[in-house]
Amino acid sequence: MSSSFWSSSHCLHWLITRPALLISRHLDLQYCTPKQLYCLHIFFTQLIQKLGKRLLLRQIPIATACTFFKRFYLKNSICETNPYLVLAACVFVAAKVEETPVHIKSVVSEAKVVFNEYNIKLFPAETNKLGEMEFYLLEDLDFHLVIFHPYRALLHITGREPADSGKFPLSRTEEDQRFKKKELETRKKKDEEIRKSNLNTVGNKPSPGVGLVNGNKDVNEDDENQLEAKRIRRLMGRGSTEGIGEVDEGVLQISWFILNDTYRTDVHLLYPPYIIAISAIYVAFCLTSMNSSSASRTRTSSSSSQLNSVQSSTTINEQLGLDPPPNSASNFLAGFQVNLNILFACVQDIIRLYSIWESFEPTSMRNTNNPQNQQQNHLKSVLGGASMTGTEDGIDGKKEKFGFEEAEVLVRKMIESRLVDMGHPNNAGANQTAKRSLPTGASDGIDQSSVIGKKRVRK
C-alpha cells in the first residue's frame, strides 16, 4: 500500500539480508575487488545525480533512481550489462514514477553530455535503446515502483511533518477533549440507567441487587483502566509526532545531507527507511556534539521555523496527560525502541561510506561553489577523516589511486573480460574457481591484476 510501509512491496519483497546481497555480487567480484565495486557504486550514484540535476529533477526522483539502480544489480552484474544505459533508464523511469516526467529524448541528450564529461563512450545515445532498456528494467524491478524514502520518515520523526497529514481533521488535543466529553456523557447515562434499574430491582429483590451494584463498580474500574490504555494507544497510534520531542534545525539539516549520501551505499536494500532515518539522526547528533562542546544538542537561531518547539511539545503532552517529551538526544533516540543491533549496523554502513568516498573522490577535488556542497564536503571530511585512521589501511594496503578515471576504465575492463570469459567458458570456469579461492580482502592478488590491474603491472 502506498500509505503503509508494512504492506508495501518495498517491505515485503525488497529488503534483503547481507548474505543475499553478497551472493548477488559474486560475479562482479570476480572482476574487481570489493572496495572497487563499492567505489563503482559511488561513481554511478554520482552520475545519476549529475544526470538528474541536468534534467532539473528534485532529490526524491533522484533517490528513487538510485534505489532502482541498486535493485537492478541485485539480479544482474555490472560486467554483463551496460551500467550507463541502466542508469539512464533508472532516471527515466524514476522521473515518471515521481510524477515529474521528462522526455526520453532529453534523457538521452543530457546523458550524452554528462557521460562525455567523464569520457564514457559505452552509452548508446539512441532513444529506442533506452526505451528497450526501460522494459527490461521494469521487468527486473518486478514492476514494483513505489519506494519509501527515509526523507519522509525523517520529517515525521523530527516533528516537521505529521505522519497523519490529511487523515485526521482534528488535532490530538482537540480529539482527546471531544472523546473525553463523549465518554463522560455516556458514563453519566450509564450510571443513571444503573441507578434506575437498581431502584426497580431493589424493591423486589434486595439481596441480589446489592451484589449487582458491587459487581458493577468493579467492572467500571476495570473499564476505566482499559479505556485509559485505549486512549493512550489511540493518541499514539495516530502516528502524529505532536508532542513527542524536538530536534534542532541544524541536526535536521545534517541528517538530510547524510540521507542524500546514503544513496551511495547499500543501506536502502538492507534496512527499512525509518531505521535509516534514525541512523542519520544519530550520526548527526554525534557530529553536532563533536563540533560544539555543549550538550548533545545545539541550538541555532533557525529553530524558529520548526513546527513544534520544545515548549509546545511539553504543553501538548501535559494536556494529554502523557509523559513529558525526552530532553536529551539519547532519550529521544531511545524513545523509538528500535533494535539497537540493527540501528548500529546501519550506522556503521553509513559511516563506512565516508572514508571510502574520501579516498575515491577527495574533498579537495570537488567544487565548493555552493553552500550545500560545502556543508556536505565538511561532513565528508570530518567523517572520512575520523574513520580513516582505523579501517583504511586494512583494505587498501598500498596507497594507489582509484578515482573517477580509473572507475571508468575498470567498468570497461570488467565488461571486456567478462565477454572474453563468456566466449571461452571452459577457461572462464577455471579462472573463476581460482579467483574465488582468493580471500576477498587481498585485492592485490596476482590473478586479480591480470584482469584489471594491467595498468599497475605495466608500471
Residues at the interface with other proteins (CB under 8 A): 1-4, 8-9, 12-14, 16, 20, 23-24, 26-27, 58, 60-61, 74-76, 80-82, 85, 92-93, 96-101, 103-104, 122, 124, 127-136, 138-140, 142-146, 152, 165-167, 415-416, 419, 422-423, 425, 429, 432-433
Supply the minimum distance, in Å, between the C-beta of residue 34 and other proteins.
16
Of 288, 279, 278, 289, the residue nearest 254 (C-alpha): 288
Q: Which is nearer to other proteins, 366 or 412 (CB)?
A: 412
Q: Cβ 137 to other proteins, closest distance in Å?
A: 10
Cβ nearer to other proteins, comparing 105 with 456: 105
Q: Give the residue with the Cβ less far from other proteins, 77 or 363.
A: 77
Q: Which is nearer to other proteins, 16 or 310 (CB)?
A: 16
Give the C-alpha separation, 225 to 231, whole Å. 10
Complex with other proteins: residue 89 or 347, whichever CB lies closer: 89
Q: Shortest gap between Cβ of 112 and other proteins (angstroms)?
A: 17
Smallest distance from the beta carbon of 6 to other proteins, in angstroms?
A: 13
Query: Whose Cβ is closer to other proteins: residue 139's or residue 221's?
Result: 139
Closest separation in Å from C-beta 247 to other proteins: 21
Q: Shortest gap between Cβ of 75 and other proteins (angstroms)?
A: 6
Q: Minimum distance between the CB of residue 311 and other proteins, rounded to whole angstroms?
A: 29
CB atoms within 10 A of CB 239: 12
- 277 vs 383 by CB, closer to other proteins: 277
**What is the gyration radius of the CA atoms in the chain, in angstroms?**
29
CB of 445 to other proteins, least distance (A): 19
Per the CB < 8 A criterion, the answer to whether 292 and 283 are in contact is no
Backbone angles phi, psi at 16, to 5 degrees: -120, 170
Question: Which cell is 108 given?
Answer: 538521452
